[in-house]
Amino acid sequence: MAGWLVKSEPHDWSWQDQQETTIEPWTGVRNFQAQNNMRAMKVGDLVFFYHSGKNPAIVGLCKVSKSAYPDPSDDTKRFCLVDLKAVSSAATPVSLASIKADPDFQHLALVKQARLSVMPIDKEAWQKLYKMAAFPA
Partner DNA sequence: GCCAACGTTGGC
The H or E element spanning position 93 is strand 80-95
DSSP state of 6: E
Q: Least distance in Å: CB of 53 to DNA?
A: 6
Pairing outcome for strands 57-70 and 3-8 = unpaired
Residue number, 26 or 137, with CB nearest to DNA: 26
Q: Among 128, 66, 118, 62, which Cα is nearest to 94's?
A: 128
Q: Least distance in Å: CB of 16 to DNA?
A: 18
Between CA 129 and CA 117 the distance in angstroms is: 17
Between CA 84 and CA 94 the distance in angstroms is: 20
Q: Least distance in Å: CB of 137 to DNA?
A: 28
Between CA 59 and CA 129 the distance in angstroms is: 11
Residue number, 79 or 126, with CB nearest to DNA: 79
Q: Least distance in Å: CB of 115 to DNA?
A: 5
Q: Least distance in Å: CB of 136 to DNA?
A: 25
Residue number, 54 or 77, with CB nearest to DNA: 54
Question: Which residues are CB-contacts of 20 (< 8 A; sequence separation ≥ 6)?
Answer: none
Residue number, 16 or 22, with CB nearest to DNA: 16
Residue number, 19 or 52, with CB nearest to DNA: 52
The residues binding DNA (CB under 7 A) are: 7, 9, 30-33, 52-54, 56, 96-97, 100, 112-117
